[in-house]
Structure 1
Amino acid sequence: MATEAPAPPTDEHVAGRLSRTDRYLPVWIGVAMVGGLLLGRLVPDLGSALAAVTVDGVSLPIALGLLVMMYPVLAKVRYDRLDTVTGDRRLLLGSLVLNWVLGPALMFALAWIFLPDLPEYRTGLIIVGLARCIAMVIIWNDLACGDREAAAVLVALNSVFQVLAFAGLGWFYLSVLPGWLGLEQAGIDASTGDIARSVLVFLGIPLLAGYLSRRLGERARGRAWYEERFLPRVGPWALYGLLFTIVVLFALQGEAVTSNPLDVVRIAVPLLVYFAAMWGGGFLLGHVMRLSYERTTTLAFTAAGNNFELAIAVAIATFGAASGQALAGVVGPLIEVPVLVGLVYVSLWLRRRYRDTSPSGSTTSEAPR
């Protein structure tokens, strides 16, 4: 049965959905980025120490930060509502087209347009474009008041396609398509097993933990206790994990980033275009398909976000930690984090002017954010 579209929230309502910490998120992220870069520059051995122990090619501290970051958001998901998402074929089809057709093709085009003379960075960007979102996008979607259940489903869908398609698409975009177009060819060494392990570690573990938390918590104490007492306690850890991950990530490549500022700028330009185009295209597509604000926002952020941990791991495993491909992978989140944080605020601004035109009146999450 269709439901009435919710009234547009007021400025006070939107602001009230964000805690004081979340409202100043750009400041905290900026401090974390600068702090990480300075640590990597001022303490030369820090990067080596942080990278000494890895999980599936990713530094252990980064892996821990990602797990801590993702768990609270996945613990908020109402898993008994996922069927309302899986039945929305428009949303699922739109996500598949944006993520696995348009996204890789757009990054390929931008990499060749902006970096025709820098093959290492160009290859690194293409790898970033192939690694679709499974991690930080959950945070951005939650802050923008997107549909939490839809985000969980689309991230899981991306994970399955990542396992099945990443290696094949890497071969196509780095070897086959350039050959057809008479361009320089590259290669990629990423097995399905490697990609599956990455997805299992960075999505499977926090997803299972989040599901069990809700299932066992509600069974033992009830939904009211779980959402009004438990979630507010664990919720801030998502931001703590995010900031810790950013500090460690930029500390690992602090010297490379600060020693090659012009190279970083050249890598950053196509990334800026890419993130803005994918988010804008996703938001426009959601509006054209008459999705609710919540699902339109989720579609936009899952289209714009990328799985940088997988991209960095593949680049390091294939080309080495000191390679240009690895540097391009690190510059990815350097640009993605502040851009998508900015788009969170753009989304909240648009939310005040959005009219829910969804004929099905899609169910949205009402759990505390």
Structure 2
Amino acid sequence: MKIQINARNRAHNFNVAEGEKILYAGLGGDIDLPYECASGTCGTCKARLISGEIVDAWPEAPGRKYLKGEDEFLMCQCMAKTDATIAVESFVQTVEKSGVSVPAALSGHISSARLLTPDVMHLQIKLGQPMEFDAGQFVMVQVPGIAGFRGWSIVNYQREAEILEFVVKKKPGGGISEWLFNNQCEGVAVELFGPLGHATFYPALAKNILCIAGGSGIAGMMSILSRAAQDGYFSQYRGDVFFGVQTLKDAFLLQELSQLRAQCGDKLSVTIALSKEEPPGSALSDYPQLKFDTGYVHEVAGRQMQGNYQDVRAYLAGPPPMVDAAVRILLMARVTTDNICYDKFS
């Protein structure tokens, strides 16, 4: 089936298979359609149906609250029944393939699952074929028997990866997380779509890096730090990482962060912010490469970064209230919006 999308600047055409989400088909066809979460919550991919018929896979999607008329729909949740013409309010460009990771449908299986804390799990998914992605991106994952895709940030970084690593936070009542934590999931086949996301890092950036992450938001930051370390980025530029959890018992990946700090040297600083306790006396002796502080992670970052925002690119990830608070601090420090990067996919 053929889709014509009328954007503010021009029309684009692409094909969509039966049962394929319109957003995914367009992105896979090198059309840079608007999106953020790609999973039905944010409303960014809303469009208006001009002609043709579509099917809505999730009529109760939270992002539908942003729709204004009966002819509007979410491209990430709808499939075409016929050829269709749709309209979006934004400018839409064709993606130049050179050097860009184009999202596509992939398959794989969960090759490893282990608990990092009682409510955080580390997963590895072995892909059926290698995937190219950029540091800081995420993929959509669907498991058998549970409707809908979920967005997970990639922890590791290899330009062509055969295995993707993730950290997943258990959410009470969450379909996939409840399934992961209550079942033997190793060996289970999964479907993926990606890579997605615009909060990416390239060594050609030539700026100091600031990472502020809460909880499982540290996942994408690990990918960014891994690529920077591989390229010797911190031999020339500064990196400041702030990772927020409630208590030290809730922290994870501290050994990996310590190894990155040891590898990259003094220009990389990693601070663990504990919101509900003072740092235990054992913290510094167990993790001498890391710093520890008390408070919400955006507050700790704001205190420690005073006067150090020159030539900074900031990456944010975590609960939406934390991200919003961090954005306010950065804007007050006169960090420009083009240097504040985050993806709303939680």
TM tier, smaller: under 0.3
User: What TM-score, normalized by structure 1, do the two folds share?
Assistant: 0.20
Structure showing greater relative contact order (alpha-carbon pairs closer than 8 Å, 6 or more residues apart) = 1
User: What TM-score, normalized by structure 2, do the two folds share?
Assistant: 0.21
